[in-house]
Copies of this chain bind each other. A is one copy, B any other.
Amino acid sequence: MLEINSIKELRAVIRSERSKGKKIGFVPTMGYFHGGHLTLMREAKQHADIVVVSIFINPTQFGPGEDLDKYPRDLERDRRLAIGAGVDILFVPSEAEMYPGGYVTYVEVTGITDVLCGKSRPGHFRGVATVVAKLLNIVSPDVALFGKKDWQQLVVIKKMVSDLNMDVEIAGISTVREADGLAMSSRNKYLAPGEREAALVLSKSLRLAHDMVGYGETDPARLAASLEKIIGAEKLVKLEYLDVCDPDSLAPVDKIETDTLIAVAAWVGSTRLIDNTIVRPHLENSGGLV
Q: Which residues from chain A sit less than 8 Å from chain B, CB to CB?
A: 7, 11, 103-112, 129-130, 133-134, 137-138, 140, 159-160, 163-167
Cβ contact within 8 Å between B7 and A165: yes
Max chain B C-beta neighbours (<10 A), residue from A107, A130, A138, A166? A107
* C-alpha gap A109/B130 in the complex (Å): 11
Q: Given B108, B129, B166, which contacts A137 in the complex, CB threshold below 8 Å?
A: B166
* C-alpha gap A130/B11 in the complex (Å): 24
Q: Given B138, B160, B163, which contacts A165 in the complex, CB threshold below 8 Å?
A: B138
* C-alpha gap A108/B133 in the complex (Å): 13
Residues of B within 8 A of A159 (CB): 104-105
Residues of B within 8 A of A109 (CB): 104-105
Write the nearest CB–CB distance from A164 to chain B, whole angstroms: 6
* C-alpha gap A5/B129 in the complex (Å): 28
Q: A11-B167, A104-B159, A140-B167 are in contact. List 11 more A-B contacts (CB 8 A).
A: A7-B165, A104-B109, A104-B112, A105-B107, A105-B110, A105-B160, A105-B164, A106-B108, A106-B110, A137-B164, A138-B165
* C-alpha gap A103/B165 in the complex (Å): 11
Residues of B within 8 A of A160 (CB): 105
Write the nearest CB–CB distance from A207 to chain B, whole angstroms: 32
Residues of B within 8 A of A129 (CB): 105
Cβ contact within 8 Å between A137 and B105: no
* C-alpha gap A167/B134 in the complex (Å): 10
Max chain B C-beta neighbours (<10 A), residue from A7, A105, A138? A105
Closest to A103 in B: B163
* C-alpha gap A104/B249 in the complex (Å): 11
Residues of B within 8 A of A134 (CB): 163-165
* C-alpha gap A219/B138 in the complex (Å): 43
* C-alpha gap A160/B102 in the complex (Å): 12
Residues of B within 8 A of A167 (CB): 11, 137, 140
Residues of B within 8 A of A11 (CB): 167
Residues of B within 8 A of A103 (CB): 163
Write the nearest CB–CB distance from A81 to chain B, whole angstroms: 27
Closest to A112 in B: B104
Write the nearest CB–CB distance from A205 to chain B, whole angstroms: 30
Closest to A168 in B: B137
Write the nearest CB–CB distance from A155 to chain B, whole angstroms: 11
* C-alpha gap A20/B103 in the complex (Å): 36
Closest to A126 in B: B108
Residues of B within 8 A of A133 (CB): 164
Cβ contact within 8 Å between B107 and A163: no
Q: Given B104, B105, B108, which contacts A105 in the complex, CB threshold below 8 Å?
A: B108
Write the nearest CB–CB distance from A128 to chain B, whole angstroms: 13
Closest to A140 in B: B167
* C-alpha gap A140/B18 in the complex (Å): 15
